[in-house]
Amino acid sequence: MDVFFGKHDTILTNVDYLDLELTLDCGQAFRWEKQDDDSWSGVAGNKYLNIKKDGDSFVLKNTSSDDYLQFWQHYFDFDRDYTSICSRLSEDRLLSEAIDSYYGIRILNQDPWEALCSFIISQNNNISRIKSIIKRLCDACGDPIGGGVYAFPRPEQLSLMSVDDFQKIGAGYRAEYLAQLATQAVSGNIDLQKIKTLPLNDARNELLSILGVGNKVADCALLFGLGFFEAFPMDTWMKKVMTQYGGTMPDCFKGYEGLAQQYLFHWARHNL
């Protein structure tokens, strides 16, 4: 991949492995919207981005070299060699088919706090509704970052919301979970930066102690927010997929379970 820093934009060429729609709209992140010109706009951290595929290159609008190097490069996981990982994963027949069909899914490195809150909201919920709840949450108490756009609220901002406030934005029965989580995060009882440094199982157990966090939500937070590429979220779709493996994971998934999961999840939703 080559990176060019223009006067306003950052331009990526020779990108081996990125499909914007598959990556930004596959249910791992909830703040990206497709625009009329087929570009994608979204918020991550306290940054707004518009990114568009233009022929063989990708244009990150109004993105400085600092923004790219210090934030988006890691967000899009560009430091990881997806080509060699997918080559390894393709040793499995089903995964090989999924990768061929949906080439270009990357795992985004999202903010741990946002990922945890988002996947608590996601439980027993559908993606379009998850998106709208999160948007209302950001509009209600996140930092304005310009253009009428708001960042995802920090713990102390969420802690100022009451259970009733969370219900008013449509969180439903998850309102209680969000309120408790915010309180614990502010008190330091939940420390995601510390959890990030733990071994996978310890990190997982810490997350499981949070009200409203079960196996699936914990694994999503680990994979999409806390940098655990080997986490393997098991939702209803993945349970169906795993019957095709007799319940045991192929050896070639090892170390890359998260990406394998995301491909199989996508494959299952379109083929089962």
Partner DNA sequence: GTCCAGGCATGCA
Partner DNA sequence: TGCATGCATGGA
Q: Which residues bind DNA (CB under 7 A)?
A: 26-28, 122-130, 132, 167, 170, 172-173, 210-218, 220, 233, 235-238, 261-262, 265
CB of 175 to DNA, least distance (A): 8
Taking phi first (over 0 means left), then psi (-120 to 50 degrees means alpha), and beta for anything else, what does residue 143 get?
A: beta
Q: Angle 56-57-61 (CA atoms, 0-180°, nearest 5)?
A: 155
CB of 10 to DNA, least distance (A): 27
CB of 52 to DNA, least distance (A): 23
Residue written as token pair 């990030």:
196
Nearer to DNA (CB atom), residue 12 or residue 233: 233
% helix, strand, coil for the chain, step of 5? 50, 10, 40
Nearer to DNA (CB atom), residue 5 or residue 229: 229
Q: Are 182 and 161 in contact (CB under 8 A)?
A: yes
Nearer to DNA (CB atom), residue 186 or residue 242: 242
Nearer to DNA (CB atom), residue 51 or residue 171: 171
CB of 198 to DNA, least distance (A): 18
Collapsing DSSP to helix, strand or coil, 220 comes out as helix
Contacts of 206 (CB under 8 A, 6+ apart): 190, 195, 198
